[in-house]
Amino acid sequence: MKHVIIGTAGHVDHGKTTLIKALTGTDTDRLKEEQERGMTIDLGFAALTLPDGTLAGIVDVPGHERFLKNMLAGAGGVDVALLVIAADESVMPQTVEHLDILRLLDVKNGVVALTKCDTVDEEWLQIVEEDVRGHLKDTFLANAPILRIDSLRGKGLPALKKALLSAVSRAEARNAAAPFRLPVDRVFTRPGFGTVVTGTLIAGTLRVGDAVEILPRQIQTRVRGLQSHSKKQEAVEAGMRVAVNLAGVETEALERGALLVPPGTLAPTQIFDATLRLLPTAPKPLANRTRVRLYHGTAEILGRVVILGADEIEPGETGYAQFRAEHPFACARGDRFVVRTYSPMITIGGGVVLDPAPGRHRRRDPAVIETLAAKERGTPDTLLATYLQAAPFGSSRKEAARSLGLSEADAATAAQTLLERGEVIALDGDRLIHQAALATATDRALNALFAYHSANPLRPGMSKEELRGVLGRGVEPRAFATLLSRWQAEGRIVVDAATVRRADFTVQLNPRQQALLDRIARVYQDAGFNAPAIDEVSREVSAPPDAVTAMLRVGQDQGVFARIGEGLYYHRETLARARKLVEDHIRQHGSITVSQFRDLTGSSRKYALPVLEYFDSIRFTRRIGDERVLVNPT
């Protein structure tokens, strides 16, 4: 299922929260102060089921200028904008500012809701619609539908839902295969659970048990539990609202603006290179070393902008800049951000991160500008690195070159550079995997095995297919096999014919279990060819049938028993005798039939047939009509 976030936008009091309540039944103004003042202060959350059953997350933002910082914390995860404009007031300052922010963050889809239509007449409505169209010209909402709404009476809601569905279906799905990224927007404690953070998962998949690093503080922890819209989940995917219960972290270590990522995938930074576009409406050119407020993910970061290759950036122009922050934070190449002036707080522009960890530059150095231009275009190695970062199980060199539109020679050089830097690892001759992706896959596999061993202490290991399923959709069998042999070579796991176990795991029977296994083995030894049914064994050894079955499985893994058929086991000595009888008989007579075997063993057809079929299945004998011959007569 596709996961998307719909985010409200619009001027204060234009009816965003009322509209969300009318759509979903949820009052997103959950703070006492919000309810008293009838005004949204901080982000609110709800879920909307669209006409086709898609469950969209909703982020409701405050419209008041004073809380724009909170709006920015919500805007980072928005896929579809719901721009709310009150028909009685039409476009107002924060209508424009919110729209600017959504554009700077590269939101591509949306719908316009004209609320409070019940308070104006048709003539006025037409004037307002024209005004709105004029403001949306040249934006991603230029062709968006404008829906007339009266939230108090629920008028226009079905049409709005349809329009939202169509915008949602046009929205590009976020990459659930990339390393996960969760910008934190709330932190709280739940009695009995501990620390919980919430946010919009903007990339990747997060699972219970996953190792997590909290940036910029670099605190390592684990996911203890997950929820989305108050429902417990084992895994959550990009585009979902999520609540994460973190193991062993104090709430003091976290705040809005923190970022959760797989350990080691991003480093905190205080300086980055970027393209920076100034809005045409910015009041004046942006001068070198201006102190600004930068908004990235859910964080607000103060710092100075060093303009590269020029003295200033004019309104409406784009330039290169280096941002020098007053505190560490984390960002990645390609991330979008918004810039406001320090005081008064006016949104003046935004841009795209080109390099999250550059050195300091000489401002006028043409080589610096050239390098930044190359980074903006994407050099083969940055392209390949970005591509591999989003490939959780790596990619063949050919595949990578093809998807990036690189020549094989360029791709090979790029691969060499990344291999030498240790950023990428060659899994086998052809397959490359990003070290971050490998670390995540390794962690996930060992975790899954640990959980399996804990739940199944008597099983020798997890089936390979089950483990492959745990690792995620789209791990090809070949890539999986390569990963398994790598982990085996590193001494992390042991791979048997069909199962995988952690290298540090062995089946440990306690003395009582061992005694039970021995007693069961004796029962089977004594019974010989006429093996007992499980409930007979259960009576004989005075243990419940489940316990007998469990021990039979352990015994089977240890080679004490062979499973001949449903509920039918032979002791290995009995099986060896049967095998000898079959072999001798065939050598003397050329073949053996079920009734001959039955007579030889003094058993009944009930045993004779499954035993011979078992011999066929292990390719000891082969059936020809009613008779069996040896597969390997020599």
Ligand X SMILES: Nc1nc2c(ncn2[C@@H]2O[C@H](COP(=O)(O)OP(=O)(O)OP(=O)(O)O)[C@@H](O)[C@H]2O)c(=O)[nH]1
Q: Which residues bind Mg ion (CB under 5 A)?
A: 16-17, 40
Residue 118 near ligand X by CB under 6 A? yes
296 binds, among ligand X, Mg ion, none (CB under 5 to 8 A by kind): none
185 binds, among ligand X, Mg ion, none (CB under 5 to 8 A by kind): none
- Torsion sign, CA atoms 485, 490, 495, 499: negative
Residue 115 near ligand X by CB under 6 A? yes
- CB-CB contact of 279 with 349 (8 Å): yes
From 57-65, 292-300, 327-335, 620-628, span contacting ligand X (CB under 6 A): 57-65
Q: Which is nearer to ligand X, 115 or 265 (CB)?
A: 115
Q: Which is nearer to ligand X, 132 or 321 (CB)?
A: 132
Kindly list the distances between the CA atom of residue 88 and the CA atoms of 124, 157, 338, 389, 425, in Å, as whole numbers in the listed order. Answer: 8, 19, 30, 49, 60
From 149-157, 387-395, 455-463, 593-601, span contacting ligand X (CB under 6 A): 149-157
Residue 156 near ligand X by CB under 6 A? no
Q: Which is nearer to Mg ion, 152 or 287 (CB)?
A: 152
Residue 148 near ligand X by CB under 6 A? no
The distance of closest approach from Cβ of residue 85 to ligand X in the complex, given in angstroms and rounded to an integer, is: 10
Q: Which is nearer to ligand X, 78 or 307 (CB)?
A: 78
116 binds, among ligand X, Mg ion, none (CB under 5 to 8 A by kind): ligand X
Go through 503-533 and write b for each residue having 16 or more CB atoms within 10 A of its CB, e for each that does not. eebebebeeebeebbebbbebbeebbbebbe
3-state secondary structure of 546: helix
Instruction: Quote the CA–CA distance of 93 and 74 in Å, as a whole number.
Output: 19
Q: Which is nearer to ligand X, 156 or 555 (CB)?
A: 156
Q: Residue 375 corresponds to which tokens in the numbers above? A: 């980074």
Q: Is the peptide bond before 283 cis (omega within 30 degrees of 0)?
A: no
List 57, 62, 76, 460, residue binding ligand X (CB under 6 A): 62
Instruction: Quote the CA–CA distance of 97 and 103 in Å, as a whole number.
Output: 10
All residues at 6 or more sequence positions from 53 whose CB lies less than 8 Å from its CB, including other chains: none
Instruction: Quote the CA–CA distance of 193 and 200 in Å, as a whole number.
Output: 20
The distance of closest approach from Cβ of residue 241 to ligand X in the complex, given in angstroms and rounded to an integer, is: 19
Residue recorded with tokens 């950036």: 313
115 binds, among Mg ion, ligand X, none (CB under 5 to 8 A by kind): ligand X
Q: Which is nearer to ligand X, 119 or 514 (CB)?
A: 119
Residue 31 near ligand X by CB under 6 A? no
Residues linked to residue 178 through DSSP beta bridges, in sequence order? none
From 36-44, 134-142, 475-483, 537-545, span contacting ligand X (CB under 6 A): 36-44
Q: Which is nearer to ligand X, 9 or 258 (CB)?
A: 9
Q: Which is nearer to Mg ion, 16 or 241 (CB)?
A: 16
How, if at all, do strands 109-115 and 80-86 pair? parallel
Q: Which is nearer to Mg ion, 17 or 601 (CB)?
A: 17
List 12, 75, 258, 611, residue binding ligand X (CB under 6 A): 12
Minimal CB distance residue for ligand X: 63
The distance of closest approach from Cβ of residue 113 to ligand X in the complex, given in angstroms and rounded to an integer, is: 9
3-state secondary structure of 557: helix
A 10 A CB-CB count for 31 gives: 12
The distance of closest approach from Cβ of residue 29 to Mg ion in the complex, given in angstroms and rounded to an integer, is: 6
The distance of closest approach from Cβ of residue 314 to ligand X in the complex, given in angstroms and rounded to an integer, is: 32
How many residues line the site for ligand X (CB under 6 A)?
A: 23
All residues at 6 or more sequence positions from 12 whose CB lies less than 8 Å from its CB, including other chains: 39, 62, 63, 64, 65, 94
From 8-16, 241-249, 269-277, 451-459, span contacting ligand X (CB under 6 A): 8-16
List 23, 42, 46, 63, residue binding ligand X (CB under 6 A): 63
Instruction: Quote the CA–CA distance of 348 and 345 in Å, as a whole number.
Output: 9
Instruction: Quote the CA–CA distance of 18 and 64 in Å, as a whole number.
Output: 15
From 150-158, 352-360, 522-530, 553-561, span contacting ligand X (CB under 6 A): 150-158
List 2, 54, 55, 64, residue binding ligand X (CB under 6 A): 64
Q: Which is nearer to ligand X, 117 or 578 (CB)?
A: 117
Give the DSSP per-residue string, 260-280.
EESTTS---EEEEEEEEEE-T
Report which of 227, 258, 241, 243 is spatially closest to residue 195, judged by C-alpha positions. Answer: 243
Q: Is the peptide bond before 216 cis (omega within 30 degrees of 0)?
A: yes
Report which of 67, 59, 76 is spatially closest to residue 33, judged by C-alpha positions. Answer: 67
18 binds, among Mg ion, ligand X, none (CB under 5 to 8 A by kind): ligand X
Ranges of H-type helices in 289-424: 366-377, 380-389, 397-404, 408-421
The distance of closest approach from Cβ of residue 103 to Mg ion in the complex, given in angstroms and rounded to an integer, is: 22
Instruction: Quote the CA–CA distance of 550 and 543 in Å, as a whole number.
Output: 11
Give the DSSP per-residue string, 241-260.
EEEEEETT--GGG--TT-EE
12 binds, among ligand X, Mg ion, none (CB under 5 to 8 A by kind): ligand X
The distance of closest approach from Cβ of residue 40 to Mg ion in the complex, given in angstroms and rounded to an integer, is: 3
Contact residues for ligand X (CB under 6 A)?
A: 10, 12-18, 38-40, 62-64, 84, 115-116, 118-119, 149-152
